């Protein structure tokens, strides 16, 4: 991650060099690195608001265990076959495992929102409902929901099934409709993701992407820029074709990292957009 608060960045780099979180999600939605980044994004955001926040990895094994819950299976069959169940079991694991020094419930909530976002969905219920659910899970107070008794037949998985049902009822698809923009506007938005348009010639232009490389156990970092593809280019002030926009974002891997068209047009990183949207809830969700 880039442009973190200096103290947070130092802890991030130190923890990354020790644990090397995997960026592979297997049959899940979020990877170890996604959860790792979400935790430090939260730390960065709240430290920047002046809050005294404890953060960092307490037990990486518990983080890894929570992530693995999404793809656990038996005899080659994944236990959780739908997105809502995968999101729920991940959030439950992060909420209960306490893999971080602080901010476990906050990280669980942000990862729940981020996993939904990656599946092009968002919550449409009152934020207080979600906050109450996470608090009751952490406090083992699910019996305060009158309808929870109907889910007890699922045994140890009752809470996961209840959460998944909650997400199905209270989420909907994100609007990804195309908004017109010029090549100049497109290039400006791409630069936020270390991508740019350059070397225009013969009605085509290169799409260049800088990727961070880490060497020597993650201690040495450098950016290396490569050409990903070429697209048609009639001029900076001309409107870009929506198919070209989606192709660039796809080929550069932005969709794989949870970006949706709405966030791309409006600007910002998904984690920080979600933190801003749920700021009040996240602020109240401090670990006891």
Q: Could you tell me if residue 142 is inside a domain? A: yes
pLDDT value of position 162:
97
Instruction: Clarify whether residues 122 and 246 are in a common domain.
Output: no
Instruction: Clarify whether residues 208 and 141 are in a common domain.
Output: no
Residue 260 has φ and ψ, to the nearest 5°, of: -120, 165
Q: Could you tell me if residue 267 is inside a domain? A: no
Residue 246: domain span:
183-257
Instruction: Clarify whether residues 165 and 241 are in a common domain.
Output: no
Q: Cβ(128)–Cβ(109) under 8 Å?
A: no
Helix, strand, coil % in the chain, rounded to nearest 5: 55, 15, 30
Q: What average pLDDT does range 52-63 have in this prediction?
A: 93
pTM: 0.74
Q: What average pLDDT does range 127-146 have in this prediction?
A: 91
pLDDT value of position 180:
77
Instruction: Clarify whether residues 149 and 49 are in a common domain.
Output: yes
Q: Could you tell me if residue 115 is inside a domain? A: yes
Instruction: Clarify whether residues 112 and 150 are in a common domain.
Output: yes
pLDDT value of position 232:
95
Distances (CA, A) of 242 to 13, 37, 167, 199, 247: 37, 30, 31, 21, 9
pLDDT value of position 51:
83
Q: How confident is the model at residue 195 (pLDDT cuts 50, 70, 90)?
A: very high
Instruction: Clarify whether residues 148 and 10 are in a common domain.
Output: yes
Which positions ≥6 away from 185 have C-beta within 8 Å?
none
Which candidate, 88, 89, 57, 70, places its Cα nearest to that of 30? Answer: 70
Looking at the chain, the whole-number percentage of residues with pLDDT higher than 70 is 92
Terminal Cα distance for the chain, rounded: 28
Instruction: Clarify whether residues 16 and 146 are in a common domain.
Output: yes
Q: How confident is the model at residue 219 (pLDDT cuts 50, 70, 90)?
A: low
Tell me which residue has tokens 């899970």: 137
Cα–Cα dist 87/92, whole Å: 9
Instruction: Clarify whether residues 65 and 145 are in a common domain.
Output: yes
Instruction: Clarify whether residues 48 and 100 are in a common domain.
Output: yes
DSSP character for 193? G
- Range of weakest confidence among 162-166, 204-208, 265-269, 279-283: 265-269
Instruction: Clarify whether residues 64 and 87 are in a common domain.
Output: yes
**Any idea what the CATH number is for the domain that residue 153 is in?**
1.20.120.1870
User: Does the pLDDT at position 288 exceed 50?
Assistant: no
Q: How confident is the model at residue 176 (pLDDT cuts 50, 70, 90)?
A: low
The pair of structure tokens assigned to 276 is 């801003």
pLDDT, tens only, 155-164 = 999 999 999 9
Q: Could you tell me if residue 263 is inside a domain? A: no
Instruction: Clarify whether residues 37 and 93 are in a common domain.
Output: yes
DSSP character for 234? S
Q: Could you tell me if residue 1 is inside a domain? A: no
Q: Could you tell me if residue 265 is inside a domain? A: no
Q: Could you tell me if residue 245 is inside a domain? A: yes
- Range of weakest confidence among 28-37, 114-123, 145-154, 159-168: 114-123
Looking at the chain, the whole-number percentage of residues with pLDDT higher than 90 is 59
Instruction: Clarify whether residues 42 and 136 are in a common domain.
Output: yes
Q: Cβ(164)–Cβ(84) under 8 Å?
A: yes
Q: Could you tell me if residue 165 is inside a domain? A: yes
Q: What average pLDDT does range 2-28 have in this prediction?
A: 92
Domain count across the chain? 2
């Amino acid at each position: 991650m880039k442009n973190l608060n200096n103290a947070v960045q130092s802890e991030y780099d130190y923890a990354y060099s020790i644990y090397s979180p995997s960026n592979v999600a297997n049959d899940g939605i979020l990877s170890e690195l996604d959860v790792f980044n979400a935790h430090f994004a939260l730390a960065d955001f709240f430290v920047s608001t002046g809050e005294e926040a404890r953060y960092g990895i307490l037990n990486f094994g518990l983080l890894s265990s929570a992530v693995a819950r999404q793809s656990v299976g038996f005899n080659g069959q994944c236990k959780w076959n739908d997105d809502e169940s995968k999101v729920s079991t991940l959030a439950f694991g992060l909420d209960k495992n306490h893999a971080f020094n602080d901010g476990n419930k906050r990280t669980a909530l942000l990862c729940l929102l981020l996993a939904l976002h990656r599946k092009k969905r968002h919550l449409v219920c009152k934020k207080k409902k979600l906050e109450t659910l996470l608090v009751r899970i952490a406090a083992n107070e699910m019996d305060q929901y009158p309808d929870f008794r109907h889910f007890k037949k699922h045994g140890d998985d009752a809470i996961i099934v209840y959460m998944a049902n909650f997400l199905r009822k209270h989420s909907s698809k994100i609007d990804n409709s195309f908004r017109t923009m010029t090549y100049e506007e497109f290039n400006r938005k791409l630069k936020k993701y270390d991508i740019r348009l350059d070397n225009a010639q013969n009605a085509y232009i290169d799409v260049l992407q800088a990727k961070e490389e880490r060497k020597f156990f993650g201690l040495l970092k450098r950016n290396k820029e490569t050409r990903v593809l070429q697209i048609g280019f009639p001029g900076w002030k001309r409107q870009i074709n929506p198919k070209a926009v989606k192709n660039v974002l796809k080929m550069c891997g932005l969709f794989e990292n949870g970006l949706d068209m709405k966030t791309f047009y409006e600007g910002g990183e998904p984690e920080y957009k979600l933190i801003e949207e749920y700021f009040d809830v996240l602020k109240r969700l401090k670990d006891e």
